[in-house]
Every structure is written in structure tokens, then in C-alpha cells.
Chains A and B, each alone.
Chain A
Amino acid sequence: MSTNSQKYRNSFLKEVEANVEEGEWVKMCMQCGVCAGSCPLGKHWDHPPQEIFMMIRAGKREEVLSSDSMWMCTSCYNCIARCPRGLPITHIMHGLAVYSKRLGLMPDNQPTAEFGQIFWDNLMKKGRVNELKMGLSMYFKDGFSQGVKNAMANQKLGQNMMKAKRMNAMEIMGGHGVKSPGDLAKIIKKAQEIEDGNIQDFS
């Protein structure tokens, strides 16, 4: 390699560019702070988006990937609509979140991470979401007695929904789904394999 093509970029930025959804955009951030000021959950974030991007550029790998911040994204796309540089911030946040999860660095018991997995497992079973089972899995994720407490606390809400026919107790028996969930599972498994194969090793 000639000295002119020597690359000095820190390896965490390279890692994000290679392995995180839309990660190649991170270097385009100009630190204006519009995203941080636009984020509805901003006040709950340890590090708003532009800080995360700066930390990636500064090589703060552990700190970024173990942050709880990107799990706070509600996917409202306000930052994307406003960013003067056109960064796909929402996607980068989601990408960082799943990447931290893949590496096992995400914070323990992060409620939105847990909900995301419950949601995905639920939809993969039959190809369509079973809201009742999803709700119950969420209530009972921290064990039986906490589950009963959660269910009791939301009892009135559940009854109201049943009365309005927007929740159906029969869903527990089966519920909606695609004709052959097995075929859908095969498709998604293949997609996951391809994606896993694209991950580059930076360890």
C-alpha cells in the first residue's frame, strides 16, 4: 500500500459505516443540533443524535453501543424531515440499536428493546401480529406476579377494548395469519442469513 492511500479514519467509524444501517451517513453530520432540538423524546436521551454521531467519530465504541439513547427513538421522522444535511437519522438510530444488540452490548432490561423482540417474535409466528398475545407477553415479560399486576392495572383498558370489539379474547386460540407461515419463515430466515453474512468483523 502506498503511503498516499493510507487510511487514518478510526476503526469505529469504519465499523459503523460497514455494519450499521445507513451508517455511511454519520460522517456527513455538521453538528448543528437541529435533530436534538426536534426530537420529542430528546429530554430523556443521555446523548442526542448529534452527540452520538460525534462520539462515533471520536471512536467511543463502548459508550455509544451501550447507550440507552437510540432505544428512545419513537420513529417519528422529525429529525429526518429537518436535518439540513439530509441524514437518515431515524434509520441510523435503529441501525445502532440492533447493532448494539447483535454485539450484546445493549443495556439490560431495556423496555423498548424487549418490546421490539416480543413484537418481532409475535409477527413471525403467523405472519401477522396477534395483539392480544403480544400484550400478554409484554405484561408477563418480568415474571408471573409482575404480569398479574400489570394485567390488573390495565384491566379497565382491556375491558373497554373488548366492549368496542377492538380486542378479541378468541385471538388467544389462534388468530389471524398468513396461509403458510412456514414459507414466510423460510423467506425471512434466508434474508437474515444473507444479512448476517454481510457483517464485517472488526473485533
Chain B
Amino acid sequence: MAKIELSFYPGCSSQKGATSSNYLVSAQTMCEELDITLNEIPDWNCCGASIGYGGGGELPRLTLSARNIALSEEHNAGQEIVSPCAACWLNTREAKERLNEDEKMMQDANTALAEGGLRFKGEVNVRHMVEVLVEDIGFDAIKDKVKKPLEGLKIAGYVGCQTNRPFGIAGESFENPQYLDKIVEAVGADSIPTFEKKVQCCGGALAFSEPEKSQEMIHGIIEAAYDNGADMIVTPCPLCQANVEIYQDQINETYGTKFDMPVVYYSTLMSVAFGRNATDAALNGHIIKAKKLEEIASK
């Protein structure tokens, strides 16, 4: 496999002690195994997530992402930007496209960036980690790397919203994307193509501001996973992961259910299947333990 070098934008929630710090650990393990080098963008800032609009206007928001792109173009010249986070990828890619389409907006953003001695060129591709896996690595190469197939595990592929829309993964349908199921199969587990909530919204930031409304949707996602016989849920999105995992206690109280469904990342699955231990796969970072994965990892 050819070595791949990428300019890496991890995002706030991936930082040490933050909600998806375990995503970063498992993604790094996965990339080591796949010979992908992640060069972090020096001094990157928050992308504004999906709720940034509530405090900052259009240009301030686009400028936040333009700053990250400018830093990447300066320090990691020639490398594509990749992010493991749905919102980070969406905002960064959107900023790049919007500024390139609109000359005035580009000028305005650069006038603002000049205050910090930066300049946005907008020549670099912005991709999601999953795109690199699907397009540059491929399912067969993933399969070839598997040392401990995740045999007998039934895994519901929960793609969520923003990894799937508005950009989505090239060649995949917005309504029924298949790549996550294919990754599940590539690591030797059983996918659940009939999991009907695979692109259902988890509530995003409204999990915080409107918990009842959001938890009603999360309830539906977990319920569908159980009804389809899933042992666990896998997702590419840090916010989906957090929302679907951490509120299960509260949902059980509201709905009288006994949910105890592990929710892991594709990078967790790959790290274990590629033969790495539970710590490298960041299985210790879960509130609901993925016991079956822990067993395979310790074999």
C-alpha cells in the first residue's frame, strides 16, 4: 500500500479529555496500520460546529474555517485536508467551496484573515476520513489487513446526517448509503442492511438545548438496532456516537427500556480487527463497554 500523507484537522471534540478523544486514538491506530500519516494543522481552531450560526454570522463562520485552510496551505503545503469529524469536514469543505464561488466573500474573508497575517487560497481538497478509506484504500485492502476477523458480531451501521449530507460520500445514495456496511463486512462482522435508521438525525446540538425532542429520536435509533438483532452500533460521527451512547440511562428512565447498546467508531472496529489491543482501539473510552470487541482484542 502506498504511503499517504494528509493534513489533519482533528476538531475540538477529539482533543484529550473531550467527548470523542477515543475517536482520535482509534483513528490514529487505524492510520498507522494503513500507512497513513496524519500531519496535524498547526494551531487549528474550532470550525463552529453545527450551532455556531447562533452566535456568529455567515462571514465570521466561514472565516473560522478559512483560517484553518490557510494554516494548512502554509504549513502542510500540497496535502489534502482530512477530518474524522462530520461537522469539521462539512464546515471546512463548505467554506472552501463558498469562498471559491463568491469573489466578494473571498475578498472579505481575506481582509479579515490579514488581521492575523494569514491568506486563504482555497486550492486544497477537503475530505472526510471515510473518503480516504473508501476511495484511496478500498474495502479489499482493508480486508487484507485483518488479523482477527470480528466473526459472529452483528453491527448496525449508523451513518447519521452530516457524514451523509449535504456532501455525502461520492457514489453513495443519500437515502441508503452502503459504505459503512461494507466496512463492517470487510472486518469480518455481519452488517445489517435492513437497519432502517442508518441516516436518521440524532438531534445534533439540540441534544443539549432540547433534550426531550432529541432523545425521542435517539430512542428510535437504538430501538431499531435492537429490533434488527444488533450487538452494537458503529458510526463515523463523533456527535452521533456521543448522543447515541451517553443518554441511554436517561432514555431508559423516560421510556422504561433497558438499553445497553455499545456505540463504536469504524476506526475502533478496524483497530481491533487489525490485531491491536483494547487500549490502542480506545475501548476504554466507552461508557457502555463493547464487551465482545474487548474479548476479541484480548485474544
Contacts and interface: CB of A to CB of B under 8 A. Distances in A.
A168 B17 CA distance: 5
**Nearest 7 A/B pairs, CB to CB:** A116-B54, A120-B55, A168-B17, A77-B165, A75-B50, A76-B201, A191-B112
Interface of B: 12-13, 15-22, 43-46, 48-60, 62-64, 67, 108-109, 111-113, 115-118, 161-162, 165-166, 168, 174, 199-201, 203-206, 208-210, 213-214, 217, 246-247, 249-250, 284-287
A112 B284 contact: no
B208 A75 contact: no
A128 interface: yes
Interface in A115-151: 115-121, 123-124, 127-129, 131, 135, 138
Given A40-B200, A112-B54, A131-B18, A81 B166 contact: yes
A164 B286 contact: yes
Interface in A166-203: 166-168, 170-171, 176, 178-179, 183-184, 186-192, 194-196
Contacts of B209: 111-112, 114-115, 138
A75 B162 CA distance: 8
B109 A170 contact: no
Given A76-B204, A112-B54, A186-B116, A128 B45 contact: yes
A164 B22 contact: yes
A168 to B, nearest CB: 3
A86 to B, nearest CB: 10
A57 B176 CA distance: 35
Given A40-B217, A120-B54, A77 B161 contact: yes
A114 B51 CA distance: 10
Contacts of B58: 21, 95, 195
B53 A166 contact: no
B54 A117 contact: yes
A184 B67 contact: yes
Interface stretch (A5-13, A26-34, A59-67, A155-163): A155-163
A166 B285 CA distance: 7
B52 A119 contact: yes
A116 B18 CA distance: 19
Given A77-B162, A166-B21, A123 B48 contact: yes
Contacts of B286: 164
Contact of A78 (B60, B62, B161): B161
A105 interface: no
Contact of A138 (B12, B117, B208, B213): B208
A56 interface: no
Contacts of B250: 157
A152 interface: no
A119 B205 contact: yes
B108 A191 contact: yes
A155 B67 CA distance: 37
B281 to A, nearest CB: 14
Contacts of A165: 17, 21-22, 284-285
Contact of A191 (B22, B55, B59, B201): B59
Of A80, A176, A195, chain B has the most CB atoms within 10 Å of the CB of: A195
Contacts of A120: 48, 52, 54-56
Interface in A9-64: 21, 40-41, 44
A194 B166 contact: no
B159 to A, nearest CB: 12
Contacts of A98: 53-54, 57
A188 B113 CA distance: 8
Contacts of A77: 161-162, 165-166
Given A76-B161, A116-B55, A164 B287 contact: yes
Contacts of A168: 16-18
Contacts of A128: 12, 15, 45-46
B83 to A, nearest CB: 14
Contacts of A112: 51, 54, 205-206, 209-210
Contacts of B18: 131, 166-168, 176
Contact of B12 (A76, A163, A176, A191): A176
Contacts of B204: 74-76
A157 B243 CA distance: 12
Given A131-B13, A156-B249, A115 B205 contact: yes
Given A111-B209, A165-B285, A187-B63, A131 B19 contact: yes
